[in-house]
Amino acid sequence: MLVKDIMVTEVITVSPFAKVREALSLMKRHKVKCLVVDKANEHDAYGLITYSTIIKTIVAESGDIDLINVYDVCAKPAIAVGQDLAIKHVARLMTSYGFNRILVLDNNSLVGLITITDIIDTILDMVE
């Protein structure tokens, strides 16, 4: 089984120049736990911003969601794999390094997102 077989293709993105409040609003509206941070230019890398990152910024660092830009707090560059990679390699990467989500790129363009939950759900479907 390949990444493209189970990845999510409808990925919500946010501008790196958006305020954290806007990112939270997008997460709430689309009922997602993370957003992909767009590249600032074609040679830039994608980033990821998650609820955990935002909580850390607000609570631990006393950040103001109306003043802080997404690029100030996102994880960048985000780890990415190709869509034709076998799931077993992605699972090993996630478990070895503690990643919960990984971007899926094709020729340096975003085509999807794969999460540890996607992999677990696929395994559970095989068991039933």
pTM: 0.89
Q: What is the pLDDT of residue 117?
A: 93
Domain range summary for the chain, segments of one domain joined by +: 3-127
Backbone torsion region of residue 86, taken as left when φ is above 0, otherwise alpha when ψ lies between -120 and 50, otherwise beta: beta
Mean model confidence pLDDT for the chain: 93
CA pair distance 16, 75, nearest whole angstrom: 11
Closest CA to 20 of 72, 59, 62: 72
Q: What is the pLDDT of residue 128?
A: 65
Backbone angles phi, psi at 69, to 5 degrees: -80, 155
Q: What is the pLDDT of residues 49-107, one digit of tens each?
A: 999 989 888 887 677 888 889 999 999 999 999 999 999 999 999 999 999 999 999 99
Q: In what side-by-side order are the strands of the sheet with 109-115?
A: 80-82, 101-106, 109-115
Homologous superfamily of 3-127: CBS-domain (3.10.580.10)
Q: How many CB atoms lie within 10 A of CB 53?
A: 19
